[in-house]
Amino acid sequence: MNLKQLSHMLALSQTTVSRALNGYPEVSEETRRRVADAAKRHGYRPNPSARRLATGKAGMIGYVMPTGASVDIDPHFVEFLSGLGDYARGHELDLVLSPTTADDEETTYRRVVANKQVDAVYVSSPRPADRRIVLLNQLGLPFIVHGRSEGLDFDYAHIDIDNEAAFHDAARLLLQLGHKRIALINGDTSQTFAIFRERGARKALLASGLSLPPERIRSLAMTEENGFRAANSLLRGSEPPTAILCSSLIMALGVVRAIRDLGLSIPGDVSLIAHDDVFPWLKPENFSVPLTTTRSSIRAAGERVAERLAARISRQETEPRGEVWPVDLVVRASIATAKN
Amino acid sequence: MNLKQLSHMLALSQTTVSRALNGYPEVSEETRRRVADAAKRHGYRPNPSARRLATGKAGMIGYVMPTGASVDIDPHFVEFLSGLGDYARGHELDLVLSPTTADDEETTYRRVVANKQVDAVYVSSPRPADRRIVLLNQLGLPFIVHGRSEGLDFDYAHIDIDNEAAFHDAARLLLQLGHKRIALINGDTSQTFAIFRERGARKALLASGLSLPPERIRSLAMTEENGFRAANSLLRGSEPPTAILCSSLIMALGVVRAIRDLGLSIPGDVSLIAHDDVFPWLKPENFSVPLTTTRSSIRAAGERVAERLAARISRQETEPRGEVWPVDLVVRASIATAKN
DNA sequence: GTGGCAAGCCAAAGCGCTTTGGCTGCCGAT
DNA sequence: ATCGGCAGCCAAAGCGCTTTGGCTTGCCAC
């Protein structure tokens, strides 16, 4: 059933039927009702390819997905996707993933735009002065950044969590417990979220007259193995930390393993606070010692991004507004007062 | 730059240019060269929307993605996606994710087909007599199942790992080490992979005159917490197992925690073998006791699925062929001879 | 009455491709 | 000489929508 057939059986023109269905004003209410009715009864659905050719709108949102032998999409992505799906599901919004290599990202974005494959995209894991954001801004494709960049001379729509405050507060709590040597096991600092976290921790320490020297920082891809290595090298050092801030639950697994391997205990010897993105399959309260965490659901962020993306597509949202969510600090058994 | 302009500047008809570009025979070699040349020089790229309207081919592959408050997309998905991306990347193949609720799956598939959004889809986590497979088969959309169904009276394209053999071999190894009470901590048995695994383990036990009674089986969503609970309840029972087969590395985290909590040791008190889908962020060799695993890269499967999907789209592959991959059994420190 | 205007409808022209159904000119066969 | 066939090209008709630019009709004001 296509427009032609439908309009024919209603003895109306395609124009009118189209307008009626799309809510244009120049159709009488009665006609609109008749049309809507017939459309429903015959299960008419406009052909998206045709609509797309005519309007240039795709009805989909996009994500340019870096892949490659050395690139691991991390498990956070799937949580984000769940959230996105939660919203998109109810709105018949589909998501287009365009795989790309890291070097070809720009090409891929250009292709996606030139092909009008999607009406909007979201950008994840932004870096400082992220070129993707510059590009999208200049190409004029609606987009939302999950996270934030830094050092860009224009505003852009984004949603982020307050990583700086989260790690500031976590560090402050450790300081209040009397810790002096606090270490940070961070994600890759080429990404802004890690930069913000380091900044937050550092500010808290400075406020107490302490510092966060490079030798008490590790910055690595967030795997269990890297968590282990980082904790190991920190704790075997000459002045081992009495408390560790860790950027991910997965890394925390390795941190806990390292601490145990060294015959140390949590929180007796080492206090530990980790950031929790809320995975359904790994919960901080189920660690051998329940973990104190800074918590923010990445899934909720995905849902919000989808919602705002939809709003931008329909021009209900237009300003380059940023949204920064506070992060919970959830205290559990993994922290204690410093010994000395 | 569109076809019209390009053909105009070549002083050729759109027909000829189109044919030249698409490799049709009724164009002289010289003309074809000229056209290809000019197209490249001017960066001409056929508008996919137009092509799509004309041909009905979308140039994308699809995945109907179940989401919802109670549905967790699991981290395996992201690995699979990486693999898919590895192939798709080089072939300008994009992936469309259509989120859906569990109940609406059929509707969503029908929509995707009716809209001609994609040229092929892949289906994951099949259940016995999976209705999605029946539906796709009858709708005539090319598809590939990652995994296998059971009890369908027709053949279909799929790629799967040999779950039965994997768990058979793992169980046999434990038997050879003298274990008599072997337990299975499985994924949800509404999915065939879990059924096959149980079957493999059971057959091995039967071959040794032993059995796998229901009280030594747990079948749950594959989270750390469920691994813990399952192991806990098994080991606190009256006749605790001396060896455990576990369907996932994430569950194994919980299993290890439970064993340790009970003051037991691996492999002294309990031998443990887990299935490893090869996550970059969690490796069996890095467990406190390195884990013996049945190993198969889910990422590699994703890559292969994409490859075969592309082959089916281009009609290079047409028969409903199944492909079953063998699984490695990698022995590490987590198994030992049974004590008694 | 006539002009103006708004409401409601329509025919037809795109959107940018693919594909059908020719048409032309040249060659070898008859 | 004539004809059939083939290689190589083309004009035009889709694909199924949206949108532009009218065209009626009825009503009100003057």
Give the tens place of pLDDT for each residue, A15-39: 999 999 999 998 999 999 999 999 9
Around B323, how many Cα atoms within 13 Å sit in the side-chain half-sphere?
13
Tell me: pLDDT of A149 over 70.
yes
C-alpha distances (whole Å) from B14 to each of A56, B17, B21 are 22, 5, 10
Average pLDDT over chain A, rounded to an integer: 96
CB within 8 Å of A37: residues ≥ 6 apart: none
One digit per residue, the tens of pLDDT, for chain B of length 340 reads: 899 999 999 999 999 999 999 999 999 999 999 999 999 999 999 999 999 999 999 999 999 999 988 788 889 999 999 999 999 998 989 999 999 999 999 999 999 999 999 999 999 999 999 999 999 999 999 999 999 999 999 999 999 999 999 999 999 999 999 999 999 999 999 999 999 999 999 999 999 999 999 999 999 999 999 999 999 999 999 999 999 999 999 999 999 999 999 999 999 999 999 999 999 999 999 999 999 999 999 999 999 999 999 999 999 999 999 999 999 999 999 999 998 6
Predicted confidence at residue B71, as pLDDT, reads: 82
Q: SS3 for B217? A: strand
Residue of chain A whose Cα is closest to the Cα of B248: A281
Q: With cut-offs at 50, 70 and 90, classify the pLDDT of residue A71.
A: confident
Beta pairing, strands B94-100 & A94-100:
antiparallel
Nearest to B281 among A78, A93, A224 (CB): A224
Min Cα distance B154 → chain A (Å) is: 31
CB within 8 Å of B61: residues ≥ 6 apart: B88, B93, B94, B95, B96, B118, B119, B120, B121, B122, B306, B309, B310, B313
Min Cα distance B74 → chain A (Å) is: 7
Give dist(CA A259, CA A270) in Å, integer: 8
- Please list every residue in chain A whose beta carbon sits closer than 8 Å to the beta carbon of residue B60: 96
Cis bond upstream, residue B326 (ω within 30) = no
Query: Taking a C-beta distance cutoff of 8 angstroms, is the pair B195, B228 a contact?
Result: no
Residue A80, token pair as written in the block: 């984000």
Query: Taking a C-beta distance cutoff of 8 angstroms, is the pair B200, B168 a contact?
Result: yes
Residue in B67, B225, B249, B285 to test binding to A, most A beta-carbons within 10 Å: B67
CB within 8 Å of A243: residues ≥ 6 apart: A174, A177, A179, A181, A182, A183, A270, A271, A272, A273, A335, A338
Give the tens place of pLDDT for each residue, A168-194: 999 999 999 999 999 999 999 999 999
Per-position b or e across B97-106, b if 16+ CB within 10 A of its CB: bbbbbeebbe
Nearest to B288 among A53, A99, A260 (CB): A260
Cα B55 to the chain's mean position, in Å? 30
Q: Where are the beta strands (DSSP E) in B151-215?
A: 158-161, 182-186
Nucleotides of D under 7 A from a protein CB: 7-22
Residues in chain B: 340
Residues 35-64 of B with CB under 7 A from strand D: 50, 53-54
Give dist(CA B278, CA A254) in Å, integer: 17
Q: Is the distance between the Cβ of A18 and the closest atom of strand D smaller than 7 Å?
A: yes
CB within 8 Å of B202: residues ≥ 6 apart: B211, B212
Q: SS3 for B317? A: coil
- Please list every residue in chain A whose beta carbon sits closer than 8 Å to the beta carbon of residue B114: 45
Measure the CA angle with vertex B329, ends B323 and B331; round to 5°: 165
Task: Give the mean model confidence (pLDDT) for residues A232-240.
Answer: 96
Q: Is the distance between the Cβ of B2 and the closest atom of strand C smaller than 7 Å?
A: yes
Query: Taking a C-beta distance cutoff of 8 angstroms, is the pair A71, A129 a contact?
Result: no
Taking every pair of C-alpha atoms in chain A, what is the biggest distance, in angstroms?
88
Give dist(CA A39, CA A28) in Å, integer: 16
**Does A100 sit within 8 Å of B97, measured CB to CB?**
no
Give dist(CA A147, CA A193) in Å, integer: 7
Predicted confidence at residue A73, as pLDDT, reads: 82
**Does A75 sit within 8 Å of B82, measured CB to CB?**
no
Q: Is the distance between the Cβ of B27 and the closest atom of strand D smaller than 7 Å?
A: yes
Q: Is the distance between the Cβ of A36 and the closest atom of strand C smaller than 7 Å?
A: no
Give the tens place of pLDDT for each residue, A73-126: 889 999 999 999 999 998 989 999 999 999 999 999 999 999 999 999 999 999
**Does A73 sit within 8 Å of B86, measured CB to CB?**
no
Residue A213, token pair as written in the block: 């020297």
Q: Is this structure's pTM higher than 0.75?
A: yes
Nucleotides of C under 7 A from a protein CB: 7-22
Residue A12, token pair as written in the block: 């109306």
Predicted confidence at residue B270, as pLDDT, reads: 98
Query: Taking a C-beta distance cutoff of 8 angstroms, is the pair B79, A79 a contact?
Result: no
Q: With cut-offs at 50, 70 and 90, classify the pLDDT of residue A297.
A: very high
Residue B2, token pair as written in the block: 């569109």
Q: With cut-offs at 50, 70 and 90, classify the pLDDT of residue A43.
A: very high
Predicted confidence at residue A72, as pLDDT, reads: 80
